[in-house]
Each structure stands twice: as structure tokens, then as C-alpha cells.
Structure 1
């Protein structure tokens, strides 16, 4: 019998999606499931984007350029410029989601067995992208006790080896909701310049910042032009996860030239999705203002209710729409499965993402879950009440 590749065997399951079969069984048992497990916003996509697709006049659904259409890239550059991030269209590669941008970035800067340092917990699919690229993730641990703040510079520097090629951050963070301060970004800039590394920033949640704080892009830091690579996406910004359109942005010409070779190998990003994404750039600021108010209220509601549960410790997110909660259980994987298979309150239960999959260090996050506050406030309150009642009766 033919054997599966070692790489395939090592490819991790998604902690966000691996419980789907148990959720489907819950549906068949006529249970209502509150989905706290996945960052799929319930906010409507901008109508202008939907109309652009329905009103198209294309006669042939043809390939676009491998780097994305020139018109779209020009408008993306305009979006960045309006946000005081000065880039040009030729410094942008349109990708099939932020996921492909991350794969292109890893492929451009690291060879097999090279290392990328990432503060953990981190977006679970970084593990998968690294495995697919043959790259080794070297974690530097941030802790819930410090609200997942950037670890000291000494913690990074003792991990740097001749194999280290980059530091990767998510800002604001998935799964923690942590927002890096300007001082922390400047600290990272000093490290990568001192050791001649790349700094890759996943900035897909840039718009989702609360408490009158400010997001600082690595592309705004003077002297970082040759080191900075930004990953971006329309998925969360415009609630267009299904469009699968993202981009890789860098002022480093070698990075863009190399990334384009990876883009040419997959031919081109999808045409209709680019049409929708280009139109979405005309979305008025009022759309985001309303979304931010809604998410802040959801965050505040969620954190308040979680902190009322005995034994639960929760990080306080300043951006994105996730938080990490530490539960009084030994194994959140088993607990999450039990919630779907064996527990309900009047026919209702919840689906959460076990947090161990957001770490690469073994045995970290085993008693934590990630919660996405993408449900309305009433649903969040119901979901947390279910969690509270579940913890009262659950036995490890």
C-alpha cells in the first residue's frame, strides 16, 4: 500500500474546524449550536461589493495578472495611503486570501529547515503553513497573566540562530486580540535590523481596534523598508471571508519579485472576487464606525460575563474579535467535544476552539479556548450561560 508523505502526516488539523463532525451530529439531534469557534463575522458584506459582481458585464471569465489586476492594486495602494501607509501598486501582490500571502512570504524568505520566531499563542494555521513550507516555527511564549504582551527582547534574542530568517506577528492578534503598541513595534524593528531578519506582520484585523487606541503598521516604521512584509486580506475588514482575496505588501523588491514567481505558479487570483474586493474599497467610513461600536459592545459583554464564572481567567482584547479564556478543566479538546456530544441546556449548546492548536509548544494551552465574539450580544450572553452551566457539571 502506498504511504502518505511525512509532511502530510505532520500537517496539523485545524483546532477551529476539526470539531465540525460533532457539531453536525448535534444539528441532527435538533440542537441549537452557538458558534464561538470561528471568525466568521455575522456583519453583512458591503452591498457595493455584492452589486459589483451581480452587475458585471464580462463575456469571458478570463485569467487576471498573476499579481492581481492593475486597477485593483492601484486602489489598494490608495487605501493604504489614506491610512498613512505609503506604498505603490508595484509593491503589492494580490493573493488567494491572506493564507496564500503567508505561504508566499514563507516561501520567499525561508528555505527548508529555516526558522521563524512567532510569539505564541498564534493563528493556528501558521503551524500548517510552516509544515507545508518545511519551515520550523520557534515560539516565544506570551502569557495570559500579562495579557499576551510582547515578551522581553532578551527572550527573542536567545532564540535567534543562523537558521532564523524572520519574526512573524499578528497585529491585532488572532487568537488573543492583543494590539501591539508603537513601542513594541519599534522594539521588534530594532531586533530585525540588528540581526538582519525579516519582520512579517499579519495585519488583517487593522480596522478592528478599540478603546481609542491606534494600530501601528510595520510599514510606517522608518528604516524598516527592506525588512517589512505585510499580510492583508478583505475577509474580516469587509466581512467577505468567502471572497478569498488577500495581498502581500513589501517595499523590498526582492521579496516582491520572488513572491511573484510563486504567484505565477498558481496562475492568478479569482476574477469575480477581485471585482468585489475592488468595489469594497469604496465602502464608507460609517460602515466601519458602526462595526467597531458593535464589536466593542460584544467584547465588553463577553468579557464581563466570562469573568463572572468561577475559575475562568480571560485575556482582555484590544483589537480583532477574539479572546483566550482559561478554564478550570484539564483538557479543552475533550471538553469542547463533550459540549457538542453530551451537553445541552434546553436543546442549546456551544462550539468553541480548543486553544492548544494555537501553540506549537507541546502541552501549552491545554486548558484554554479561543472565543470569537462574532455573534450578537444576546447570543453571546446565552452562550456564556451555557458555558457556565457546563463547567458546573463537567468532570475531566
Structure 2
């Protein structure tokens, strides 16, 4: 029998999606599943984006340019200008979601065997992107006990070797909701310039920041024009996860010209989705104010309710719409599967994402889960009620 690749064998399963079959089986039994496992907002997609597709008169659904249509990229540049990020259309490549932008970034700056430093826990698919690119992740560990604050920036410098090509951050962070301060970005800027490294900043949750704190982009005034690569997406910003449109942004001309070759190899991003995403840029500021207020309310509800469960530790997110909770159970992989296979409370259960998959350090996160607060407040309250009873039942087995 022919054998599959070692790379294929090493590709990690998604901690977010691997339990889907169990959830589907639970639903077939008539059990209601509260989905806290995935960052799929229940917020309505802006009508303007949907109408742009419905009312389009395209006769031939043709390829777009590999870097995305010039009109759309120009409008993206205008969007960034409102965020105090000065870039041009030629410094933007439209991608099939932020995921492809990350793959292009890794393909552009690394060779097999190179290293990327990433604070952990981190977005689980960074593990997959690194594996498919032959890149080694070098983790900088943050802990729930201090709300996943970064360790001293100097800890990053200790990890730099001749194989280090860059630092990857998610700001605000998935899965922790951690938000980087101006001082932290300044310190990272000093390190990457000193060691001639890239800094990749995944900023897809830019709009979702709470408690009157300002988001800091790596392309604000930190002098990182040659070092910085921004990863972005319409998925969460406009609740358009299914559009699969993102972008890679850099003022480094060599980064853009190299990433464009990867873009040409996959031909082009989807045309209809670009039309919807271009229209979404006209979404009024009031939309984001309402959405942000809603997520802040949900965050406060979730954290308050989780803290009522004996033995649960939880960090308080400053951005995005996730939190990591430490549960008083032996193993959250096992527990999360059990929730769907063997437990229900009045025909209801919850689906969470076991957090071990958000770490690259073996053995870390085995008693933690990521919870996405993308459900309305009353559903979050009910979900935590179910979780509380589930923990009691599971530990009594």
C-alpha cells in the first residue's frame, strides 16, 4: 500500500472542528447543542454586502486579478487610512480568507526548518500552517494566572536563533482575547529590527476591543515598514465567515512581490465574495458600535457566570470574542467528547473547544477549553448552567 507523507501524518486535527461528528450525532438524537466551540458570530451580515451579490448583473463569473481587484484593494486602503494605517492598493493582496494570507506569509518568509516565535496559547490553525510550511513553532508561554499577559519581552529575545525568521502575534488574541499594549508593540519592534526579523500580526479582530482601550497595529508609528506583515479578514468584522475573503498587507515590496507569486499559483480569490466584501466596507460605524456593545455584554455575562462554578479559572478578555477557562476535570479532550456523546441536561448540552490544540508545548492546556461568546446572553447563561452540572456529573463518574 502506498504511504502518505510524514507532513500529512503530522498535520494536527482542529480542536475547534474535530468534535463536529459527535455534535451532529447528538442533534440526531434530538439534543440541542449550544455551540461555544467556534468563532461563528450570530450577528447578522450587513445587508449592504448581501444585496451587492443579489443585485449583481454579472453575465460571466470570471477570474479576478491574483492580488484581488484594484477597486476593492483601493477601498481596503481607504479603510486602513481610517484606522491610521497608511498603505496603498499595491501593498495589499486579497486572499481566500485570513488563513490563506497566513500561508502566503509563511511561504514568503520561511524555508523548511526555519522557526517562528509565537506566544501561546495561540490560534490552533497556526500549528497546521506551520506544519504545512515545514516551520517549527517556538512558543513563548503565557499563563491564565496572570490573565495571559505576555512574559517580559526579553523572553522573546532569549528564543532567537539563526533559524528564527519572525514573530507571529494575534492582536486581539484568539483564543485568549489578549490585547497588546503600545509599550509591548514598541518592545517587539526593537527586537525585530535589532535581529532583522519579520513580525506577522493577525489583526482580524481589530474592531473588537473593550474597556475604552485603543487597538495598536504593527503598522502604526512603530518604524516597522520593512518588518511588518498584517493578516486581515472580513470573516469576523462583518460576520462574513463564509465569504472566505482576507488580505495580506505589507509595505515591504519584496514581501508583496513574493506573496503575489503564491497568489498567482492559486489563480485568484473568489469574485462574488470580493463584491460582497467591497460593499461591506460601506457598513456604517453604528454597526460596529452596536456589535461591540453586544460582545462586551456577552463577555461580562460569560465571565460572571463561569466564576460561579467552583474550581473554574478564567481569564478576562480585552478583545475578540473568546476566553480560555480552566476546568476542574482530568482532561478536557475527553470531557468535551463526553459532553456530546453521553451527557445532556433536559435534552441540552454544550460544545466547547479543548484547549490543548491551542498550544504547541506537549501537555499544556489539557484541562482548559476555549469558549466563544458568540451566543446571546440568555443562551450563554443556560450554557454555563449546563456546563456546571456536566462538571459535577463527570467528576462523580
Question: Which band: TM-score by shorter chain?
Answer: over 0.9
Deviations 1:54-93 (CA, angstroms, capped at 9, x unpaired): 1111110000000000000000000000111111100000
Deviations 1:91-126 (CA, angstroms, capped at 9, x unpaired): 000000000000000000000000000000000000
Does structure 1 residue 72 correspond to structure 2 residue 72? yes
- 1:205-216 equivalences in 2 (<5 Å): 205-216=205-216
- Maintained 8 Å contact 2:186/2:222: no
Residue aligned with 1:25, SS = helix
- 1:16-35 equivalences in 2 (<5 Å): 16-35=16-35
Q: Larger deviation: 150-159 or 358-367?
A: 150-159
State how far apart, in whole Å, the 1-side matches of 2:110 and 2:358 are: 22
Could you tell me which residue of structure 1 aligns to residue 222 of structure 2? 222
State how far apart, in whole Å, the 1-side matches of 2:58 and 2:179 are: 42
Could you tell me which residue of structure 2 aligns to residue 114 of structure 1? 114
State how far apart, in whole Å, the 2-side matches of 1:384 and 1:221 are: 42
- Maintained 8 Å contact 1:186/1:221: no
Aligned residues: 396
- 1:184-203 equivalences in 2 (<5 Å): 184-203=184-203
- Maintained 8 Å contact 1:124/1:358: yes
Could you tell me which residue of structure 2 aligns to residue 181 of structure 1? 181
State how far apart, in whole Å, the 1-side matches of 2:97 and 2:88 are: 20
Could you tell me which residue of structure 2 aligns to residue 204 of structure 1? 204
Does structure 1 residue 152 correspond to structure 2 residue 145? no
State how far apart, in whole Å, the 1-side matches of 2:392 and 2:196 are: 52
1:227 offset after TM fit, Å? 0.3
Residue aligned with 1:80, SS = helix
Could you tell me which residue of structure 1 aligns to residue 50 of structure 2? 50
- Maintained 8 Å contact 2:234/2:245: yes
TM-score normalised by the chain length of structure 1: 0.99
Could you tell me which residue of structure 2 aligns to residue 388 of structure 1? 388
- Maintained 8 Å contact 1:68/1:269: yes
Uncovered stretches (5+) of structure 1, i.e. residues with no partner: none
1:158 offset after TM fit, Å? 1.3
State how far apart, in whole Å, the 2-side matches of 1:272 and 1:89 are: 19
Residue aligned with 1:231, SS = strand
Could you tell me which residue of structure 2 aligns to residue 347 of structure 1? 347
Could you tell me which residue of structure 2 aligns to residue 356 of structure 1? 356
Residue aligned with 1:220, SS = coil
Superposed CA RMSD: 0.7
TM-score normalised by the chain length of structure 2: 0.99
Deviations 1:358-388 (CA, angstroms, capped at 9, x unpaired): 0000000000000000000000000000000
1:221 offset after TM fit, Å? 2.8
State how far apart, in whole Å, the 1-side matches of 2:222 and 2:239 are: 32
1:392 offset after TM fit, Å? 1.1
State how far apart, in whole Å, the 1-side matches of 2:195 and 2:372 are: 36
- 1:178-327 equivalences in 2 (<5 Å): 178-327=178-327
Uncovered stretches (5+) of structure 2, i.e. residues with no partner: none
Could you tell me which residue of structure 2 aligns to residue 125 of structure 1? 125
State how far apart, in whole Å, the 2-side matches of 1:40 and 1:288 are: 16
1:153 offset after TM fit, Å? 2.1
Does structure 1 residue 143 correspond to structure 2 residue 143? yes
State how far apart, in whole Å, the 2-side matches of 1:213 and 1:291 are: 16
State how far apart, in whole Å, the 2-side matches of 1:82 and 1:223 are: 19
- Maintained 8 Å contact 1:327/1:367: yes
Does structure 1 residue 103 correspond to structure 2 residue 103? yes
1:199 offset after TM fit, Å? 0.5
Runs of 4+ in 1 over 4 A off after TM superposition: none
State how far apart, in whole Å, the 2-side matches of 1:242 and 1:393 are: 37
Could you tell me which residue of structure 2 aligns to residue 161 of structure 1? 161
State how far apart, in whole Å, the 1-side matches of 2:330 and 2:117 are: 28
Residue aligned with 1:167, SS = strand
Residue aligned with 1:162, SS = coil
Residue aligned with 2:388, SS = helix
- Maintained 8 Å contact 1:68/1:268: yes
- Maintained 8 Å contact 2:298/2:377: yes
State how far apart, in whole Å, the 1-side matches of 2:381 and 2:74 are: 43
1:154 offset after TM fit, Å? 2.5
State how far apart, in whole Å, the 1-side matches of 2:82 and 2:140 are: 34
Could you tell me which residue of structure 2 aligns to residue 83 of structure 1? 83
